[in-house]
A and B are shown apart, each in its own frame.
Chain A
Amino acid sequence: MEDRSNQEQSTKIEGGEAAVIQLSRVSSLEKAGGLWCSLRPFYEGCIHFMLFVCASISILVTVGIVVVLLYESVQFFYDVPILEFLTGTRWSPLLKPQHFGILPLLCGTMLVAGGSAIVAVPIGLGTAIYLSEYASPRFRDIVKPMLEILAGIPSVVFGYLAIVFVSPIIREIFPSAGVFNAASACIVVGIMILPMIISLSEDILQSVPLSLRAAAFALGANKFEVTVRVIVPAALSGIMASFLLAISRAIGETMAVTLAAGATPKLTLNPLESIQTMTAYIVQVSQGDTPTGTLEYRTIFAVGLALFITTMVMNVIAQYILSRVGERYE
């Protein structure tokens, strides 16, 4: 033992000397020695710049979307007056005589979005409340991965299900319904946006502080009263934001709607009829061999612009609400 500590003492002294030597070597703070040291700020600067470029690409993408959409749309609006585009009630750009009124497409889109919200909102909110307030941790651990799987199922699969599974059932109940109908699209899109509503709303419900629950229970409220009178109202704006995001997702939903809802632009609110949405129209034109630079080709940019603006506005509102919710409890 004595030996070892002696040994250590000697290493320590050696170390001390090394330290002294090192000191004299680097006594200046403006370290001059070594190529690496003089290159270091340059190297660091390069990396900083490269990462900055990566982050800026997101801005470029937004600019790119706007520029591409506007560039072709402006040329489209040379030929079709913007008023006619926004107020016309017939949409038939691919057939003579051509009509360029976007209202039927908009109507179809809103029909699907509204219908899917009617399907998804009650189930989604109920599930979110159950998972957040009632479910045991073990039950949550089982259900949440299942919801993740549901969220991960691609949209084209839901299109398949609408045609092969949902639509026959609807025709069984309502014999007047066509093979392609808005109702089957509403149902599958509703199922698609369910996981989104559930996970967002559940996060919001969970962020309601425990103290609020405790206070309500302390006043003698039962679980139902606490949930419905205290927690849900406290989380209401956030829940609304999650609905907005989900509806915006439904508006942008493409493959399922293209397959299920058909390709006949119609100004109708009857869910049993075949309709066409903005997204489905874009797919329809993309699939064909429309030559570049024609009026028909440009319609997809004009419709794309309308779609982009609609979803963007809803997203911005939702983000704004969510950012305010975040601040409130911090």
Chain B
Amino acid sequence: MASTPSVKKHMQSSDKTTSDHSKSPIVRPSIPEGKSMRTADELAQATEKISVTDLSFYYSENRALTDISLSIPERCVTAFIGPSGCGKSTFLRCFNRMNDMIEGTRVEGEILLEGQNIYSPRTDIVSLRKRIGMVFQKSTPFPKSIFDNVSFGPKIAGIRRKKDLFEIVERSLQRSALWDEVKDRLSESALNLSGGQQQRLCIARALANDPDILLMDEPASALDPASTARIEDLIFELKEQYTIVIVTHNMQQAARVSDQAAFFYQGLLVESGATEELFTNPRKQQTEDYITGRFG
């Protein structure tokens, strides 16, 4: 089942819309050259970006997450895996306080972003969300032009000069590997893009805010395999600059893209560690059962 480079090669070349304009028609293997999965040692040495201590989360009276402690290293990809309803998405939304929008939710414990508590009453949610970008499961372009989509974040942050905005848009689209496909039609509606392009547009939109962390909530689950491969490649490139946290129910994907993985089950963090270790040598029986497909 594991998607080997050769399978991917085939799929990508069949993707007509992207291969014509793609910036590198030569197909990269799923792990680009010179970029590799971080080893356990490297992980241990990486600076801690986010540290979660004893976090519990409640939807009114129902506890959705129980006493979770986790450290997320800088410039690495951390994947949250687990069966649906295990709380992994809820946990992800805790990082940029998207759960605040749901009435009757409550958080206990703390999440520190470079030593500062995200849930401190003095925290400004707007600046927090500018530092922690988010990409959703379903691509959600605004019903506006491509340019307006990407420039929305900087615009509301107060950047008004067209030239500055254009620079930011170009840079963000280049980083999300979409520039070459859309550079001639920036004023076209974003809704005309294909599903995979829309999702990369959403990534560009998040990058335009210059965040240092990128949260991705099953970013590829609604995409076809070829577009999924492109998103995964992109994640590899982005982790050189950004700290990425990704939620996925696809274990192959987690194994391919992540450096660190955390397995959730029924609101509990069962096990976390370097991806290689977690997948090849899980310490807990539950983890092994899930990874080998015995439940979930």
Contacts and interface: CB of A to CB of B under 8 A. Distances in A.
B23 interface: yes
B171 A11 contact: yes
A26 B126 contact: no
Interface string A28-62: 11110010110010000000000000000000000
Interface of A: 1, 4-5, 8, 11-12, 15-16, 18-19, 22-23, 26-31, 34, 36-37, 40
Nearest to A40: B126
Interface of B: 23-24, 113-114, 116, 118, 120, 122-124, 126-128, 130-131, 158, 171, 174-175, 210, 212, 240-241
A319 to B, nearest CB: 25
Contact of A30 (B24, B124, B240): B124
A34 to B, nearest CB: 8
Contacts of B113: 29
Contacts of A30: 122-124
A29 B23 contact: no
B66 to A, nearest CB: 26
A34 B128 CA distance: 16
A30 B126 CA distance: 10
Contacts, number: 47
A18 B174 contact: no
Given A11-B174, A19-B212, A28 B116 contact: yes
A26 B23 contact: no
Contacts of B240: 16
Contacts of B120: 29
A30 B175 CA distance: 28
A27 B127 contact: no
25 contacts: A1-B24, A4-B23, A5-B23, A8-B23, A8-B174, A11-B171, A11-B174, A12-B174, A15-B171, A15-B175, A16-B241, A19-B241, A22-B210, A26-B127, A27-B114, A28-B116, A29-B116, A29-B123, A29-B127, A29-B128, A30-B122, A30-B123, A31-B127, A36-B158, A37-B124
Of the listed residues B123, B158, B241, the one surrounded by the most CB atoms of chain A closer than 10 A to its CB is B241
Contact of A26 (B122, B131, B171, B174): B131
B24 A5 contact: yes
Contacts of A28: 116
A235 B174 CA distance: 56
Nearest to B179: A8
A40 B128 CA distance: 15
Given A4-B23, A40-B126, A29 B241 contact: no
Contacts of B122: 29-30
Contacts of B128: 29
B210 A12 contact: no
A36 B124 CA distance: 13
